[in-house]
Structure 1
Amino acid sequence: MNLSTDDLVEVLEATWPAAAQRRDGPFLLKLSPGGGKRVTAARLLGEAFQPADLDRAEAAMRDAGQPPLFQLAPGQAALDTALAAHGYAVVDETLFMTCDLAPLCDIDVPRLTAFDIWPPLAVQQELWAEAGIGPDRLAVMARCTEPHRSLMGRDRDRVAGAGFVACHKSVAMVHALETRPAFRGRGVATRMMGQAARWAATRGARHMALAVTKANTGARTFYRGLGMAERPGYTYRIGTQE
């Protein structure tokens, strides 16, 4: 599998889209009412920029009511240094994790334990809300124009997990995968990943991917157990809210 960080960022932006985005000089600005860092962080296209470009991007984000936030890819040391000098703090160092899709399709998913459906049911939305995934992130899912489905996991006759999967080109990416605490360790997330893979295979996907914060060691261990490998991702730097 030969997916670069740039490839995976493209999949991320296609499957978890901002409400609006525009190019401003060397920066891609993502503007969204909430929805999290993935849909509000500016991204440098290439390596070259001028101080005025940085100032203009920062002003545009503030004008949109967003804190100034930048997503840095590996190798963007000059931007990292400039943001640090402006007092931007590092937050949420993030990795990509990927694997071939076929092994995930072999996960045993007993009948009535995992589903892919659209639109998500109220019980899924309630579960997401318990995990801090509210209306703004549900709006991100709804505006995705790539093939997509919500995931629902059941255990002991109860809704135990929820997630979202979408496909871009040959890659399926999972977002917002959550299991209720009382059901963790019972294979709910594993079965949802298997269901996601089976659905993605019908859309022609050959790879599975997701983004996870470096600090989330529990999730990283889980995904490695499914055969997913860690790949370079990105880091956010956030400015002060004025």
Structure 2
Amino acid sequence: MSLRAFFDALDGTWPAASYRQLGPVTLREGQGGGSRVSAATIEGDWTPADLDAAEAAMRDMGQKPIFQLRPGQQTLDAALADRGYSVLDPVNLYTCPVDLLCDIPLPRVTVLAVWEPLALMLEIWAEGGIGPARIAIMERVKGPKTGLLGRHADKPAGCAFVAIHDGIAMVHAVEVLPHQRRSGMGRWFMRAAALWARDNGAHTLALMCTKANVAANGLYSSLNMEVVGEYHYRHLTSETTA
């Protein structure tokens, strides 16, 4: 799978409220949904004037200037660093064939696929900082999608979101309740996501994980998911998000 396909699937399964092209820059309107749906990206040749215009446009949207830097964009990365932009949230990109995680049946009622999300799921997400602005992102997805509700020891354990774009199923918003961690719930979420993805025509499972999340990176590696790339953001710490 190409990195372009990965990033296209990212926009398809976790979409911004709107997109606008400004020369080589793609602007995203995040509406409070976080960096992933607010960061500008640049493809092809660019000039300092393009960066100036992008900064002004993001401020006009009520957003602080933030850019997502993808593999091969070292020159852009250095230019933003010279402008005072700091690195934010370096991320690993993971993929695997869907069938890789479909080899073990799910124990009964361990993970339920549910859409629309139940009130309990909204509560679990809210406890993990995934509030209405990010739920709105899930609602905007136009392709196949589902929420996953996990249970352990007959109690709610967590939830996640999965959506498909062009055969790539992406897992987002994985949240396990603090008292249910170390119970294997993350592993069951990934297997449940793969089974749902297979049943809905996807060939690849994908996700993003911040490099700082050592436990989650260890989980995905233990499932034999492959790191196929990375990205990070640069933002101006002197400005706040509207």
TM-score range, shorter chain: over 0.9
Stretches (4+) displaced over 4 A: none
Question: What is the letter of the counterpart of residue 77 of structure 1?
Answer: Q
Whole-angstrom distance in 1 between the partners of 2:149 and 2:18: 29
The match for 1:32 is 30
1:106 has 2:103 as partner: yes
1:126 has 2:123 as partner: yes
Residue 78 (structure 1) shift = 1.8
Residue 179 (structure 1) shift = 0.8
The match for 1:69 is 66
Question: Aligned ranges for residues 88-167 of structure 1 at < 5 Å?
Answer: 88-167=85-164
Residue 44 (structure 1) shift = 0.3
Whole-angstrom distance in 1 between the partners of 2:52 and 2:104: 49
1:222 has 2:219 as partner: yes
Whole-angstrom distance in 2 between the partners of 1:180 and 1:107: 24
Which consecutive residues of structure 2, in runs of 5 or more, have no partner in the other structure? Answer: none
Residue 157 (structure 1) shift = 1.7
Question: Aligned ranges for residues 166-185 of structure 1 at < 5 Å?
Answer: 166-185=163-182
Aligned match for 1:10, one of 8, 11, 14: 8
1:230 alignment partner, SS class = strand
Q: CA RMSD in A?
A: 1.1
1:103 alignment partner, SS class = helix
Whole-angstrom distance in 1 between the partners of 2:212 and 2:140: 29
Aligned match for 1:44, one of 31, 36, 42: 42
Whole-angstrom distance in 2 between the partners of 1:214 and 1:187: 20
Question: What is the letter of the counterpart of residue 63 of structure 1?
Answer: D
* Conservation of the 8 A alpha-carbon contact between 1:124 and 1:159: no
Deviations 1:68-125 (A, max 9, x none): 0000111112211111111000011111011111121123311111011100101111
Residue 138 (structure 1) shift = 0.5
Whole-angstrom distance in 2 between the partners of 1:76 and 1:113: 42
1:99 alignment partner, SS class = strand
Equivalenced residue count is: 239
2:182 alignment partner, SS class = coil
Which consecutive residues of structure 1, in runs of 5 or more, have no partner in the other structure? Answer: none
Whole-angstrom distance in 2 between the partners of 1:184 and 1:203: 29
TM-score when scaled to structure 2? 0.96
1:172 alignment partner, SS class = strand
* Conservation of the 8 A alpha-carbon contact between 1:112 and 1:154: yes
